[in-house]
């Protein structure tokens, strides 16, 4: 899916950016059609995978940046014969050059879909028109399509806010796993400045009172409660059950959760409401190492995430 926010942010920071997208994939290949990455003069973000495939794509992108080449480029690559890769499939990559002016000129004729000519005919093929219209009318998100020199992609759904209460070992590990994923905006809440300081610099954090952070979170947020104080965990659970949320996870054992259920019931919450909190979190089979817990929790959240029926994104 096309992430206009990520593209706009990169252009604002870097000036000129080339977006590389796997427009078509045949046979065995490292990533699926629609996978994309951004390249600029001094760096890149994302990956289309495949080692040599990505190196070749980045080489083409750097050439476009050096020449100020705004015309889209379409490259067909056989991974075995051309790049000597074992997977042996074939891909078509589309490379598009952007600066601020070209980004502002992006038009989305169909709601939630970006369709544009990258080569070939002036008119969009009729099958692509029908697919774009169906997606715009609330159908399933459009898979990346390349037909008749036209490229079409659904626009990325809004990121989900994830609030992690507690910047201890597990909280930091979970933030580190979720932060690179484009689906999530991660915020770590902890009043302990020393713990927050151990987070990687790119991860958002706050030392505000956690209950205030909770009160200001999105209704669609996922919350993970893992402070060092059981009483404070309980207080956060109590506040959370008094408002809307998409997911709530509490770190702890089955014994801890049994006690919390009783105490939350005594605070006036119904059993059905209390069951909206997941405890324990993650996958016990993975072990108790902080990174192992984080991997299990992240996998659980990814499995819960479902595509929206209609995808929209501001382009201004």
Summarize pLDDT for 244-293 with one digit per residue, the tens: 999 999 999 999 999 999 999 999 999 999 999 999 999 989 999 999 99
Summarize pLDDT for 175-223 with one digit per residue, the tens: 999 998 878 889 999 999 999 999 988 899 999 999 999 999 988 899 9
Q: Is the pLDDT higher at 310 or at 3?
A: 3
Please, what are the domains in the chain? 1-106 (no CATH), 109-157 (no CATH), 160-304 (3.40.50.720)
The predicted structure's pLDDT at residue 21: 95
Burial of 119 (0-12, 13-18, 19+ CB in 10 A): middle
The Cα 115–Cα 91 span in angstroms is: 20
Full strand arrangement of the beta sheet holding 204-206: 204-206, 184-189, 160-165, 222-225, 247-250, 277-278
Question: Is it the case that residue 78 has pLDDT exceeding 80?
Answer: no
The predicted structure's pLDDT at residue 311: 27
pTM value?
Answer: 0.57
pLDDT band at residue 59 using 50, 70 and 90 as cut-offs: very high
DSSP H or E segment with residue 304? helix 290-304
Torsion, Cα 244 247 252 256, to 10 degrees, reads: 40
Summarize pLDDT for 124-180 with one digit per residue, the tens: 999 999 999 988 886 667 888 999 999 999 887 667 899 999 999 999 999 999 998
């Amino acid at each position: 899916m096309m992430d206009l926010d990520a593209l706009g942010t990169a252009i604002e920071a870097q000036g000129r950016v080339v977006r590389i997208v796997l427009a078509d994939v045949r046979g065995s290949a490292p990533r699926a059609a629609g996978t994309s990455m951004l390249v600029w003069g001094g760096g890149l973000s994302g990956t289309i995978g495949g080692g040599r495939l990505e190196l070749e794509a980045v080489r083409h992108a750097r050439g476009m940046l050096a020449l100020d080449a705004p015309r889209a480029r379409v490259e067909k690559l056989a991974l075995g014969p051309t790049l000597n890769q074992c997977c042996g499939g074939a891909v078509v990559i589309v490379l598009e050059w952007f600066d601020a002016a070209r980004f502002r000129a992006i038009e989305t004729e169909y709601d939630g879909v970006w369709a544009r000519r990258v080569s070939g005919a002036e008119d969009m093929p009729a099958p692509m028109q029908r697919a774009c219209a169906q997606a715009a009318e609330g159908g399933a998100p459009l898979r990346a399509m390349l037909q008749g020199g036209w490229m079409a992609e659904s626009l990325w759904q809004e990121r989900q806010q994830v609030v992690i209460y507690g910047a201890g070992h597990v909280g930091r590990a979970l933030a580190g796993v979720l932060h690179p994923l484009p689906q999530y905006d991660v915020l770590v809440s902890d009043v302990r400045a020393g713990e927050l300081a151990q987070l990687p610099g790119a991860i958002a954090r706050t030392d505000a009172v956690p209950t205030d952070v909770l009160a200001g979170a999105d209704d669609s947020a996922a919350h993970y409660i893992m402070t060092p104080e059981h009483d404070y965990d309980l207080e956060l659970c109590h506040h959370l059950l008094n408002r809307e949320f998409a997911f709530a996870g509490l770190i702890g054992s089955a014994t801890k959760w049994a006690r919390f259920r009783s105490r939350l019931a005594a605070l006036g919450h119904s059993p059905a409401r209390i069951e909206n909190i997941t405890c324990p979190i993650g996958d016990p089979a993975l072990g108790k190492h902080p990174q192992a817990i984080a991997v299990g929790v992240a996998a659980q959240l990814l499995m819960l995430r479902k595509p929206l029926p209609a995808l929209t994104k501001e382009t201004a």
